[in-house]
Protein backbone atom coordinates (compact mmCIF):
# COMPACT_ATOMS: atom_id res chain seq x y z
CA UNK A 1 0.00 0.00 0.00
CA UNK A 2 1.18 3.47 -0.69
CA UNK A 3 1.16 6.19 1.90
CA UNK A 4 -1.62 8.70 1.42
CA UNK A 5 -0.97 12.09 3.07
CA UNK A 6 -4.73 12.79 3.30
CA UNK A 7 -5.39 9.68 5.42
CA UNK A 8 -4.20 9.71 9.00
CA UNK A 9 -2.05 6.83 10.18
CA UNK A 10 -3.74 3.96 11.94
CA UNK A 11 -3.27 3.76 15.66
CA UNK A 12 -1.01 1.02 16.90
CA UNK A 13 -1.92 -0.26 20.36
CA UNK A 14 0.45 -2.29 22.43
CA UNK A 15 -0.63 -5.59 23.95
CA UNK A 16 -0.63 -3.93 27.40
CA UNK A 17 -2.97 -1.16 26.21
CA UNK A 18 -5.43 -3.68 24.80
CA UNK A 19 -5.28 -5.85 27.93
CA UNK A 20 -5.85 -2.83 30.19
CA UNK A 21 -8.86 -1.73 28.11
CA UNK A 22 -10.37 -5.23 28.15
CA UNK A 23 -9.89 -5.49 31.93
CA UNK A 24 -11.56 -2.10 32.42
CA UNK A 25 -14.55 -3.06 30.25
CA UNK A 26 -14.94 -6.40 32.06
CA UNK A 27 -15.04 -4.55 35.39
CA UNK A 28 -17.76 -2.21 34.11
CA UNK A 29 -19.74 -5.18 32.79
CA UNK A 30 -19.59 -6.98 36.15
CA UNK A 31 -20.76 -3.83 37.95
CA UNK A 32 -23.71 -3.45 35.58
CA UNK A 33 -24.64 -7.13 36.00
CA UNK A 34 -24.68 -6.80 39.79
CA UNK A 35 -26.64 -3.55 39.65
CA UNK A 36 -29.44 -5.08 37.56
CA UNK A 37 -29.60 -8.43 39.36
CA UNK A 38 -33.25 -9.56 39.33
CA UNK A 39 -33.12 -10.41 43.03
CA UNK A 40 -32.46 -6.73 43.81
CA UNK A 41 -35.33 -5.54 41.62
CA UNK A 42 -37.85 -8.14 42.82
CA UNK A 43 -36.85 -7.77 46.47
CA UNK A 44 -37.03 -3.99 46.33
CA UNK A 45 -40.46 -4.00 44.70
CA UNK A 46 -41.86 -6.51 47.19
CA UNK A 47 -40.55 -4.47 50.12
CA UNK A 48 -42.04 -1.22 48.78
CA UNK A 49 -45.41 -2.77 47.97
CA UNK A 50 -45.34 -4.73 51.23
CA UNK A 51 -44.94 -1.52 53.22
CA UNK A 52 -47.84 0.09 51.35
CA UNK A 53 -50.18 -2.89 51.78
CA UNK A 54 -49.19 -3.34 55.45
CA UNK A 55 -49.97 0.31 56.20
CA UNK A 56 -53.30 -0.15 54.40
CA UNK A 57 -53.99 -3.22 56.56
CA UNK A 58 -53.15 -1.38 59.78
CA UNK A 59 -55.51 1.47 58.88
CA UNK A 60 -58.35 -0.72 57.53
CA UNK A 61 -61.81 -0.01 58.87
CA UNK A 62 -63.89 -2.72 60.55
CA UNK A 63 -66.20 -2.70 57.52
CA UNK A 64 -63.31 -3.61 55.20
CA UNK A 65 -62.27 -6.43 57.53
CA UNK A 66 -65.86 -7.72 57.65
CA UNK A 67 -65.87 -7.88 53.81
CA UNK A 68 -63.00 -10.39 54.04
CA UNK A 69 -64.93 -12.56 56.53
CA UNK A 70 -63.15 -11.11 59.56
CA UNK A 71 -59.59 -11.54 58.23
CA UNK A 72 -57.41 -8.47 57.85
CA UNK A 73 -56.23 -9.63 54.43
CA UNK A 74 -54.28 -6.44 53.65
CA UNK A 75 -52.23 -6.76 56.82
CA UNK A 76 -51.38 -10.43 56.26
CA UNK A 77 -50.63 -9.96 52.56
CA UNK A 78 -48.43 -6.95 53.32
CA UNK A 79 -46.46 -8.87 55.94
CA UNK A 80 -46.02 -11.75 53.49
CA UNK A 81 -44.80 -9.39 50.79
CA UNK A 82 -42.36 -7.77 53.23
CA UNK A 83 -40.96 -11.15 54.23
CA UNK A 84 -40.57 -12.22 50.60
CA UNK A 85 -38.83 -8.96 49.69
CA UNK A 86 -36.45 -9.25 52.66
CA UNK A 87 -35.75 -12.86 51.64
CA UNK A 88 -34.72 -11.78 48.12
CA UNK A 89 -32.52 -8.97 49.42
CA UNK A 90 -30.88 -11.26 52.01
CA UNK A 91 -30.29 -13.86 49.31
CA UNK A 92 -28.59 -11.19 47.18
CA UNK A 93 -26.39 -10.14 50.10
CA UNK A 94 -25.45 -13.66 51.18
CA UNK A 95 -24.89 -15.12 47.68
CA UNK A 96 -23.73 -12.31 45.35
CA UNK A 97 -23.46 -12.83 41.63
CA UNK A 98 -20.15 -14.54 40.80
CA UNK A 99 -17.92 -12.91 38.19
CA UNK A 100 -18.23 -14.45 34.73
CA UNK A 101 -15.77 -17.16 33.75
CA UNK A 102 -13.30 -16.35 30.98
CA UNK A 103 -14.21 -17.81 27.59
CA UNK A 104 -12.67 -21.17 26.80
CA UNK A 105 -9.66 -21.17 24.52
CA UNK A 106 -8.24 -17.92 25.84
CA UNK A 107 -5.08 -18.18 27.91
CA UNK A 108 -5.13 -17.12 31.54
CA UNK A 109 -3.62 -13.75 32.44
CA UNK A 110 0.15 -13.96 32.58
CA UNK A 111 1.91 -13.32 35.87
CA UNK A 112 3.14 -9.77 36.43
CA UNK A 113 6.57 -9.05 35.13
CA UNK A 114 9.06 -7.54 37.53
- pLDDT value at position 78? 97
pLDDT for position 35: 65
- Using alpha carbons, list the distances in angstroms from residue 75 to 42, 47, 70, 87: 20, 14, 12, 18
- Report the alpha-carbon distance of residue 19 to residue 107 in Å, rounded: 12
Q: Cα–Cα distance between 18 and 41 in angstroms, integer?
A: 34
Q: Which residues of the chain have pLDDT under 70?
A: 1-11, 25-35, 98-114
- The pLDDT value recorded for residue 2 is 54
Please tell me the predicted confidence (pLDDT) of residue 43: 95
Q: State pTM to two decimals.
A: 0.59
54 vs 80: CA distance, rounded Å: 9
Amino acid sequence: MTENPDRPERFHYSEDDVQREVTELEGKSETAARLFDLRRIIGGLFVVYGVIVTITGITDSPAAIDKAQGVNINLWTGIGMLLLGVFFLAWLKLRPTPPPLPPEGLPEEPAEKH
